[in-house]
Structure 1
Amino acid sequence: MEKVIGNCYGEDFKKSLDHMTKSFNRLSKRKAFKQAVKGHFRSLEITYNKNIILIILIFIFDL
């Protein structure tokens, strides 16, 4: 599963990353998530271009 949070400017990066981390933590504590996913790891990819716009992706792999 891949979650794309979208683009953000460099000054919003920390806020966006904090939001994404807290959201994932809430998701992973849900009963439905625990029942559907027996094991997982989270990977973060950050890409930027010349305009310093960041594209943040979270990959969640079911083991």
Structure 2
Amino acid sequence: MTRSEKKAVIESMAEKFMNIDDLEGKSMTIMVMSAYAEGKAAGKAEERRRWEQKKEPVTA
């Protein structure tokens, strides 16, 4: 996916979000997006931790 295609998808998603009239639906969407972002960040941190552990020499 090219940068312009990604931009178009993001703009489309933002437009759909702004057109949500139901406040409960809008707040649920925000909660889901927040949970996704937090999960992704936690996954990256875990992968980083594993990579750093693998990189360290084992001494015994």
TM-score per shorter chain, which class?
0.3 to 0.5
Bigger radius of gyration among the two: 2
Structure ranking higher on relative contact order (CA contacts 8 Å, 6+ apart):
1
Q: State TM-score, norm by structure 1.
A: 0.36
Higher fraction of helix: 2
